[in-house]
Amino acid sequence: MTDDIRDQFTTAILSDSLDLVGLRHQVLDSRLRGLVPGSRALGRARTATFEPTGIVDPVHPYDDAIDFIDSANAGDLFVLATAGSNESAVWGELFSAAAIGRGAVGMLTDGNVRDVDRTAVLGFAAFARSARPIDFRGRMTLAARQRPVTIGRVVISPGDLVLADDDGIVVVPQAAETEVIAAAARRVNAESVVLAELLAGSTLRAVWDKHRIL
């Protein structure tokens, strides 16, 4: 599989490919949006769970989050589950800078982010429910990492392939990855042919009857 083909994957193409192999519930139903329209991130899930807390550690308030981010690998996509908490932000500019330095490709959360404009300037692909300027110290704690999490009614396990773009977020389980990626590559090639035929004047009926793709 070439990088050129993977670069042409969209959430729509992966969703259709998952449908073909019988996995019809792999798209998050949460409407998480990229901080910048046109953002795209394709990577391996690196998961963490944040939970509310009232405890403030004056000496080590960020240690768990620091270790989680610093131990990331190139190609990781951070997945932060908060059960939709509105207590605080769980991500910001400096976390984004550290993630870029580790070679991570993006971050998604069903919670909040902050430093929206500065994170956008960094060019880091971050997807979130919303934004709040509040620090998570003494409000949220990183309760678990590299365990399966559920966001938008989809279970995301460490290492799963995740694609986020303007249409939404799709999760490809590792067990089905080879089959789904092969189907997606075929669809990329087929759709390029269908698009060319439509632009050249073919009708939708004609291309559907010929290719069975729309």
Same domain, 156 and 124: yes
Cα 108 versus chain centre, distance: 5
Same domain, 121 and 63: yes
Same domain, 104 and 35: yes
Query: Which domain, by its residues, includes 71?
Result: 27-172
Residue 1 belongs to a domain:
no
Q: pLDDT tens digits, residue range 144-165?
A: 999 999 999 999 999 999 999 9
Same domain, 187 and 168: no
Residue 197 belongs to a domain:
yes
Per-residue pLDDT of the chain (214 residues; tens, 9 = 90+): 566 778 899 999 999 999 999 999 999 998 899 999 999 999 999 999 999 998 888 888 899 999 999 999 999 999 999 999 999 999 999 999 999 999 999 999 999 999 999 999 999 999 999 999 999 999 999 999 999 999 999 999 999 999 999 999 999 999 999 999 999 999 999 999 999 999 999 999 999 999 999 8
Residue 7 belongs to a domain:
no
Same domain, 34 and 133: yes
User: How many independent structural domains does the chain possess?
Assistant: 2
Same domain, 130 and 93: yes
* Separation of alpha carbons 59 and 44, rounded Å: 32
Residue 13 belongs to a domain:
no
Residue 203 belongs to a domain:
yes
Same domain, 135 and 198: no
Same domain, 98 and 203: no
Residue 21 belongs to a domain:
no
The structure's pTM equals 0.94
Same domain, 167 and 184: no
Same domain, 151 and 198: no
Could you write out the DSSP letters of every residue in 54-117?
Answer: ----SS-TTHHHHHHHHT--TTEEEEEE-TT--SSB---HHHHHHHHHHT--EEEEEEEE--HH
How is residue 81 written in tokens? 């589950």
Same domain, 192 and 108: no
Same domain, 158 and 110: yes
Residue 11 belongs to a domain:
no
Residue 117 belongs to a domain:
yes
Q: Nearest CA to 65 among 49, 76, 77?
A: 49
